[in-house]
Structure 1
Amino acid sequence: MKRIRYGLLLVMTVIIAVVLGGCGGSQGVKTEGDNALYVGVAGPFSGDGAEYGAMWKKGLEIAAEEINAKGGVKGRPIKLIYEDSQADPKQAASIAQKFVKDERIIAELGDFSTNATWSASPIYQKAGLVQFAFNPSHPELTKHGDYVFQLCPTQADQAIAMANLATDKLKAKRVAVLYLNTDFGKAVKDNAVQAVTAKQAEVVATEAYLSTDKDFKAQLTKVKELNPDVIILGSYYTDTALIMKQAKDLGVKATFIASSSVHSPALLSLGGDAVEGLVTLSVFNIGNPGETLQHFTAKYQEKYGASEPDTFAVQAYDALRLIANAAEKSAEQGEITRKSVRDELAKTQNFPAASQNYITYSPTRQLSQPELFPIIVKEGKFVPYNL
């Protein structure tokens, strides 16, 4: 009888150990002696947007390695917890629920799209955990509360720059807008229409397309018939490459201007000759890079063997460095908490960065006086577009 009881007790002990050990896996409760600072990352690491998530990881890995090589934050290493949202609003919200319950996490980075970011924003705001959406550019991205931060110059800023390029540099009188039918794309369209109209040019067409579309001939044919001087794109580099290939086949003669979301070496390889002459905006100065951008570019080339980083890698690099800087300042004032990280991030002034020469936050937790640099695809490379 005693043997039976002992056997049952042993079995129950093993079962309990397995259950407790399996809850949350490596992302579960703190282990003894773990003093790391954890940052959650929610983004597209599989599916249609996986290439963007891959670029995030490259920038984040370099930032984490540099921070930890210098002793972390007051001796505490930075560790990243990745969750794959596929930039899907439902998955982003589910990940947010998971992150806010993990007490190790001091801030979250992501998501990739405006839609996914907004679905999770109320959850992070209510829990008091920073949501640092470093890629989306919607002008109202931070509207859900004071724990939501942005890093990319907004489409309001970019629309003015694109309108100036169209009318002042290219002397355009007739402008069309082709845009992705998402909150991001609609923001590009709405702000571009307003900015172009303010420059006394005519908007002859606004044509939308779906994220699943691969054939843009119907929209391009309609636009071509209206004979615009310039076509403004609210798109990412994958669809931009397809659009411009099909535009070339149809004989579209207009100059294309795109938002900063297309600035990636991948556009050049995907689009080939078709993207020659495309004008876009860079959030960092490739013509006269500052010290931080030069440093990151050298590290990026050394680690990945690539010619140059893109917007997504550069902004990811800065995002983690900004969180670490906020945590460092929190530690100097006392304890590192989710609230102290938020407060110190909001106070950021003149932070040396790669995606901008210096970063200062406005009261809306957006860039104060963001810089944008016009570039053009020339002979298969991005080069400064001198005004």
Structure 2
Amino acid sequence: MNIQNNGLPGAARVLRQTFGTTILGLAVLAAFAPGAVHSQTIKIGVPVPLSGSNANAGTDIVDGAKLAAARINAAGGVLGKQIELVPEDDACDAQTAVQAAQKLVDAGVAAVAGGYCSSAALPELSTFHRAGIPYVLDASTNPKLTEMGYDNVFRTIGRDDEQGPFAASFIKNSLHAKRAAVIDDNTTYAKGLAQNTVEALKKDGVDVVYADSITPGQMDYSPTLTKVASLHPDVIYYTGYFSEAGLIVKEARQLGLKMTLMGGDGTNDPTLMKTAGPAADGMIITTSPLAQFLSGAHGFVDDYTKAYGHGPGPYSVYEYDAVGVTARAIADAKSASPAAIIAALHKIKDYPGVTGTIGFNPKGDRAVAVYITIIVRNDEFAAYQRQDASGKWVTMK
């Protein structure tokens, strides 16, 4: 499946065939050049961390949104209007997130596609709900986001209560671990994933010898690691973010810990390897499939690399689909009214996203969410294992 043909009018295919991928790179630059604001636009907000330790992930998400907007605009836009992105920095902080969300409401956005830290997405969602604006999440996975009964929230990625049992199954049935330690960073996302994993591990008969939080931002986690090591787990599963994960992995190996080190999807950023160095080799991560491991995303990876000079990070492709499915809803509704967009999003069942077919259940969650495991090899992420239709763990090719 070629990304440029996903749900696009014929004009997009003509542009692709005539000008090649260069048109997308030019469109990205033009859309964000000084003076490029259109008088007739449909604004889509993108709240993400653009400062602080998670800024790398936020920038990656914005870049995915830009690529999607460039594709849509090159094909003529939606309802005869261009898509105008409005990024806002929420810094992965609840208070800052409220301010960022209100700025987007005041800017007159018709919809919002973004989110990274669930701790920021939760207060953002409350603001957007009061304003009646749809919020399509690309990376925020805490179950509470779609359990509050709000009709304006949607998600192009899975939930922590889906990833937790997946991680537990891998730990028991692929690693054959008998004893596990689970560490979180006390944030909304990390605690949610940790709790769901611990519950599933216990249900599966794995002895959880340690389940506790660290404080993010510290310079030394060796006391926690020493305590964990004394409990002799076969595997340590860290559910926080990549900035701390790199240091934890590095210190674990410096202390001589030999057990399998794992991380949740918040650790799947190249910064992990930059921080941990060679110690990261062999670390296993549970995650939604990265773009480079999706058969339908080769065109996306090529276009992203040409536009930005490096490969896509983990959530850019889910943001690309979040913007794309939002544009599809606007087109289906034949209106840029937030209420009409919300109604149209609820009706979408088969949007041909780059990450696969997207449809939403009544709560707004993606109807079918997929997870895989990846492994760090030679300073890069490589596909590792997935579950087949029968639930058996198989090596990915």
Q: TM-score per shorter chain, which class?
A: 0.7 to 0.9
Structure 1 runs of 4+ aligned residues shifted over 6 Å read none
- In structure 2, the CA distance between the partners of 1:82 and 1:256, relative to structure 1 (3 Å rule), is same
Q: Aligned residue for 1:379?
A: 378
1:261–1:311 contact (8 Å) kept in structure 2: no
Gaps of 5+ in 1: 1-31
Which whole-Å CA distance do the structure 2 matches of 1:286 and 1:169 have between them? 24
Gaps of 5+ in 2: 1-36, 386-393
- Counting aligned pairs with the same residue, the percent is 28
1:162–1:257 contact (8 Å) kept in structure 2: no
The one-letter code sitting in structure 2 at the alignment partner of 1:223 is V
The one-letter code sitting in structure 2 at the alignment partner of 1:229 is D
Which whole-Å CA distance do the structure 1 matches of 2:384 and 2:165 have between them? 16
- Structure 2 residue 180 is the aligned partner of structure 1 residue 181: no
TM-score if structure 1 supplies the norm length?
0.86
- Structure 2 residue 99 is the aligned partner of structure 1 residue 100: no
Select 1:190's aligned residue among 191, 195, 199: 195
Which whole-Å CA distance do the structure 1 matches of 2:294 and 2:315 have between them? 17
The one-letter code sitting in structure 1 at the alignment partner of 2:240 is S
Q: Secondary structure at the match of 1:267?
A: helix
Q: Aligned residue for 2:136?
A: 132
Which whole-Å CA distance do the structure 2 matches of 1:172 and 1:33 have between them? 57
The one-letter code sitting in structure 2 at the alignment partner of 1:98 is K
Q: Aligned residue for 1:255?
A: 260
Which whole-Å CA distance do the structure 1 matches of 2:49 and 2:173 have between them? 37
The one-letter code sitting in structure 1 at the alignment partner of 2:342 is R
Q: Aligned residue for 1:226?
A: 231
TM-score if structure 2 supplies the norm length?
0.83
Q: Secondary structure at the match of 1:227?
A: coil
Q: Aligned residue for 1:273?
A: 278
Which whole-Å CA distance do the structure 1 matches of 2:315 and 2:215 have between them? 22
Q: Aligned residue for 1:339?
A: 339
- In structure 2, the CA distance between the partners of 1:287 and 1:48, relative to structure 1 (3 Å rule), is closer
- Structure 2 residue 173 is the aligned partner of structure 1 residue 168: yes
2:291–2:312 contact (8 Å) kept in structure 1: no
Written as runs of structure 1 = structure 2, the 5 A alignment for 1:230-249 is 230-249=235-254
* Number of aligned positions between the proteins: 349
The one-letter code sitting in structure 2 at the alignment partner of 1:94 is Q
Which whole-Å CA distance do the structure 2 matches of 1:166 and 1:121 have between them? 33
2:46–2:62 contact (8 Å) kept in structure 1: no
2:287–2:371 contact (8 Å) kept in structure 1: yes
Q: Could you say what the CA RMSD is over the residues aligned between the two structures, in angstroms?
A: 1.9
Select 1:70's aligned residue among 75, 88, 101: 75
The one-letter code sitting in structure 2 at the alignment partner of 1:213 is Q
Bigger relative contact order, structure 1 or 2, given CA contacts below 8 A and separation 6+? 2
- In structure 2, the CA distance between the partners of 1:189 and 1:289, relative to structure 1 (3 Å rule), is closer
Q: Aligned residue for 2:360?
A: 361
Which whole-Å CA distance do the structure 2 matches of 1:138 and 1:226 have between them? 29
Q: Secondary structure at the match of 1:203?
A: strand
Q: Deviations over 1:251-271 (max 9, x none)?
A: 111112211222223323332
1:258–1:280 contact (8 Å) kept in structure 2: yes
Which whole-Å CA distance do the structure 1 matches of 2:215 and 2:346 have between them? 36
